[in-house]
Amino acid sequence: MDWRDDPGGFAMSDRELLGSTWSLSEGTWWSSSFTGDRASWGAGLDVLLGMPEADEDRLCARLVELVTPLLESIRVAPDKQIDELERPCEMPDGQRRVVRFRARRFGDPRTGGLVGIATAVGSGDEQALADVTDRYRLLVELSPNAICVHQDGVAAYVNPAAVRMLNAGSAAQIVGRPISDFLAESEVPAARKRIASLSEPGATSGRVQIMLRCLDGRPVLVEAVSVRTTWRGRPAFQVIMRDVTAERAAEAALRYQAALVAHVSNAIIATTRSGVVTSWNTAAEAIYGRSAEQAVGWPVSDVVGAPLDPAALLAAGGATEARHLRADGSALTIRLSVSQMDSGFVLVCADETALRRAQQHYATVVDALDEGVVVVGTTGLIESANPAASQILGVDETNLVGSPAAAWSLFDEAGGRLPPHTHPSTQSRRTGKAQNARLVRTARGDGRSVWLSLTSRTLNSDEDPPHPVVLSFTDVTESRAIREQLEWEATHDPLTGLANRTLLLRRLNAALHTRHRSSSIGVLFLDLDNFKIINDSLGHGVGDEVLRVVAERLRQVTRHHELVGRLGGDEFVIVSPDENEPRKVQLFTEQLRRCLIDPIEVDGRQLHIDASIGIVLSPPHDTRRASDVLRDADVAMYQAKKLGRGRCVVFDVRMRTRVQRYLHLEQDLRHAVARKQLWVAYQPIVDLHTHAIAAVEGLLRWRHPVYGTISPTEFIPLAEETDLIKEIGLHALHSAIRDLAAYRTRRRLDLQVKANLSARQLDDPHLLAAVRAALHETDLPAAALCLEITESTLMQEPAAAREVLNGLRQMGVKLAIDDFGTGYSSLAQLHDLPLNTLKIDRSFIAGLGGSSDTETLIASIVALGHALDLTVVAEGIETAEQLDTIQRLGCDHGQGFYFGKPVPIDELLETSSVGVGVQE
């Protein structure tokens, strides 16, 4: 077999040199691969080994058999070490010759082999042969490789290395035992097959890896070669074994490292000492856009697109950041580190292009924000600040960076200064918890105050404290001012600047529910008297100025802890939180009235006002709500108004009951007509000359489903105040006309009906049409209807009243002035009004018998009425004495309980003490 075509063999010049050298002696050169599958030799080897003219395969097998111990020992020997081995060989003539093999290693232990010379030591010398045998045995005994000879499947010999490999105490523990005891169970079939294939002396198996089983059961992986030999004259097998456990572990580690290098995201580049690329991993291909074939063998500077001297970089610290180029010319930002190895350098290149681009984009975005952004490090010092932060704080970035964040003076919304350990950035650094939208005030660099909405968050909460934090803040000074203005406008009266209802209720509610309150709270409800007259007569501009003056006077007379507010219109409220003595409250209200009654000068006019004041004292533990207290104060004020204005009334529970009744009646009165709760009662009016019923007066009555019969003195003023009088007045008028028309027809009576008109009804433009329609529908003669208007009503708007009364008079309706003597009408006014009847107020009749002056007044009224050609009626006659006097004084008609109480019309004749005139 020849290695001339094998680039892994030794050089041709080496073989020629060996051949020329060994030709001078009785020997020849030879070579063999470590695997034993390739060999070559010089001329004469077949004769030297006693195999003249043997074919190449037999000669190759015999050579490998003889030098196998050298193959195993020199494989692990240092470079250039020369070993020798002497082996006996049988000659064709039966003689034995000792052949000495001397060799050294070429190449590496995996792909290389041995090259050496073979020479004859001597022949026929028994002592020499014995010496060779001893040397061979010594070589086997000292061999680092385990050697075992087995015969008939049983171990016949093991060297010390084999004893150590199998973890035995001595060779006796191994010799004599089946070799299958030392093989893993799975290895036995293959081992038998290999042994069976070695049928010729000198036959050698290929190198295989097998798993042995030590005496202690521990497995060990070995590389083994089996050679057919003889032992004590009989065929046997010599097995040479090398423990490859550590080697395979190293190979696995190398494979892992190779896989790691191949799959890491960083480029790993190996170079020679001169900077030529020797290794280029997959990540380097991806980062630089060059394949390994395009990079290996080229200077590293060329393939990374930038000057790069690994030795200089290592001397400068071994790490840097550089700008490299991809194969397509695009720029790369590379974080570069270098390490030295025996043959050169290893470069680790991390592509941070995307990271740097993201950081640049982030920095650009942060710099473009209107929101201030400041990064505070773990030491509490400011590490960076964007332009917005400098602008908001009025401090240059150079002065901000490096300064302690806790040095800022921060104030809360109440104006209190925040201690440094409570600053949002300090708390976030210490606890890792975010501080969101904290509203704080600080001073700018120019001294002006600025309000900030500040948020503090950690940059990495997974780390141990103290944490680096990022502060973001927005200047809310302007928006806060706008919000405060809106808040002020929402809680204050725009005309006077006083607290409005919203703020009054809020503050009052807070005062009422103050914990452990020990004093009473006084609430004063003021309503200006006569203000409506000023507002209506002089205009709203004057009225507004009066309200502003009143507000200012109330401010001046109240104490700093008392709250003054305007509810609207001419209603004001004062809340005093510490009023324990009712007497003091009374004195305070008198002081209020004194400050209000002073003249108010507006546009050259001196105006005079007063106030009705309702007072509520809320004791500790009062469970009322603020709105309830305010309502009760309003009730007391309303009572003060009813007492004659310019009065002060302290609230009690009975007032609330009356007001609640008032409210219920007001609501129910709105539905009384539809629910048929209102009806008309009739009281007779008697002709004092004939003693017959001349007319009846229709008086409205209300039968309430809960309160029973409601007095007209209660619900008629209520109807007038709520403007319901028009609706129920027309209902009463229609009912009276309808009832009387039917009664006249049924009884054939000549009877007149009298109905009352209020001041509000005189303002009704539909009054005349309603009266005309009612008369037409019932066929009642207009002269049978007499409408009564009180004297005070006529005197309020005499011109307007005259126009309405003239319209009724033209229709044929009779008219009467009621309650005469209680107003201030003049003779001229009475003369101008189209009246038919004058009714003397009942107060005069009730006064008869007590004073002669009363009779004189009644006589004067009767004379006045007769002078104006009016029928005079006396109201309220209840006794025979009153009747006698009235008749003596000349009254025409009389009305009162003496003649009959108001009743339904069908009961009129049964209850009346007089008769009724019959129609002719």
Q: Tell me the three state secondary structure of residue 61.
A: helix
Question: pLDDT for 517-550, tens place per residue?
Answer: 888 999 999 999 989 888 888 898 999 999 999 9
127-247 and 371-482 agree in CATH topology: yes
pLDDT of residue 826: 64
pLDDT: is 78 or 782 the higher one?
782
Cα 409 to the chain's mean position, in Å?
Answer: 29
Q: Look at residue 805 and tell me whether its pLDDT is greater than 70.
A: yes
Separation CA 388–CA 654 (nearest Å): 66
Nearest in space to 41 (alpha carbons), one of 107, 98, 114, 111: 114
pLDDT of residue 749: 81
Q: How many CA atoms lie within 13 A of 613 on its CB side?
A: 24
Classify residue 192 as left (phi > 0), alpha (psi -120 to 50) or beta: alpha
Question: pLDDT for 139-166, tens place per residue?
Answer: 678 788 899 999 999 999 999 999 999 9
Contact 307, 260 (CB under 8 A): no
Structural domain 517-651, CATH architecture: 2-Layer Sandwich (3.30)
Core vs surface per residue 662-672: b (16+ CB within 10 A) or e: eeebeebbeeb
Question: pLDDT for 564-613, tens place per residue?
Answer: 999 999 999 999 988 767 788 888 888 999 999 999 999 888 999 999 99
For the chain, how far is it from start to end, CA to CA, in angstroms? 173
**DSSP-assigned letter for residue 415:** S
Angle at CA of residue 146, ends 145 and 148, nearest 5° = 140
Q: β-strands 319-325, 277-280: how paired?
A: unpaired
- Write out the two tokens for 32: 């063999």
Q: Tell me the three state secondary structure of residue 143.
A: coil
Give the DSSP H or E segment for 103: strand 96-106
| pTM summary value | 0.48
Angle at CA of residue 351, ends 348 and 354, nearest 5° = 165
Domain covering 264-355 in this structure, CATH number:
3.30.450.20
**CATH 3.30.450.20 describes domain 13-121:** yes
Mean pLDDT for all residues in the chain:
86
Q: How confident is the model at residue 891 (pLDDT cuts 50, 70, 90)?
A: very high
What backbone phi and psi angles, to 5 degrees, belong to 464? -75, 150
Give the DSSP H or E segment for 66: helix 56-75
Separation CA 568–CA 552 (nearest Å): 16
Long-range contacts formed by 308-317: CB under 8 A, 24+ apart = 308/275, 308/336, 308/347, 309/275, 310/271, 310/275, 310/338, 310/344, 310/345, 310/347, 311/273, 311/275, 311/345, 313/338, 314/338, 314/339, 314/340, 314/345
Q: Which residue is listed with tokens 């503090």? A: 456
Q: CATH says 666-907 is which class?
A: alpha beta
Q: Where are the alpha helices (H) located in 646-797, listed in sequence order?
A: 653-669, 712-721, 725-747, 759-762, 767-778, 791-796
Q: How many CA atoms lie within 13 A of 446 on its CB side?
A: 6
Contact 651, 636 (CB under 8 A): yes
Q: Which residue is listed with tokens 């004893």? A: 163
Contact 737, 772 (CB under 8 A): no
pLDDT of residue 134: 63
- Write out the two tokens for 309: 């001297």
Structural domain 127-247, CATH architecture: 2-Layer Sandwich (3.30)
Contact 271, 347 (CB under 8 A): yes
Q: Look at residue 124 and tell me whether its pLDDT is greater than 50.
A: no
Q: Look at residue 771 and tell me whether its pLDDT is greater than 80.
A: yes
What backbone phi and psi angles, to 5 degrees, belong to 42? -95, 175
Contact 44, 26 (CB under 8 A): no
Nearest in space to 632 (alpha carbons), one of 642, 617, 648: 617
Give the start-to-end residue ranges of the domains of the chain.
13-121, 127-247, 264-355, 371-482, 517-651, 666-907
**CATH 3.20.20.70 describes domain 371-482:** no
Question: pLDDT for 489-526, tens place per residue?
Answer: 999 999 999 999 999 999 999 999 888 888 899 999 99
Contact 295, 316 (CB under 8 A): no
Angle at CA of residue 782, ends 778 and 787, nearest 5° = 105
Q: How confident is the model at residue 259 (pLDDT cuts 50, 70, 90)?
A: low
Q: Tell me the three state secondary structure of residue 376.
A: strand
Question: pLDDT for 380-414, tens place per residue?
Answer: 999 999 999 999 999 998 888 999 998 889 999 88
Question: pLDDT for 896-907, tens place per residue?
Answer: 999 999 999 888
Question: pLDDT for 42-73, tens place per residue?
Answer: 888 888 888 888 888 888 888 888 888 777 77
Type of residue at 15: R
Give the strands of the sheet with 208-213, arranged side by side: 154-158, 146-151, 234-243, 219-231, 208-213
Q: What is the mean pLDDT of residues 845-871?
A: 89
Give the DSSP H or E segment for 830: helix 827-832
Separation CA 298–CA 307 (nearest Å): 13
Type of residue at 173: Q
Angle at CA of residue 807, ends 804 and 809, nearest 5° = 110
Q: Among 377-381, 548-552, 795-799, where is mean pLDDT lowest?
A: 795-799
Question: Across 84-93, 560-569, 789-798, which has the greatest mean pLDDT?
Answer: 560-569
Type of residue at 120: A
Q: What is the mean pLDDT of residues 754-758?
A: 91
pLDDT of residue 23: 42
Q: Look at residue 24 and tell me whether its pLDDT is greater than 50.
A: no
DSSP secondary structure, 23-55, as one string:
TTTTEEEEEEETTSS-EEE-TTHHHHTT-TT--
Q: Is the preceding peptide bond at 466 cis, omega within 30 degrees of 0?
A: yes
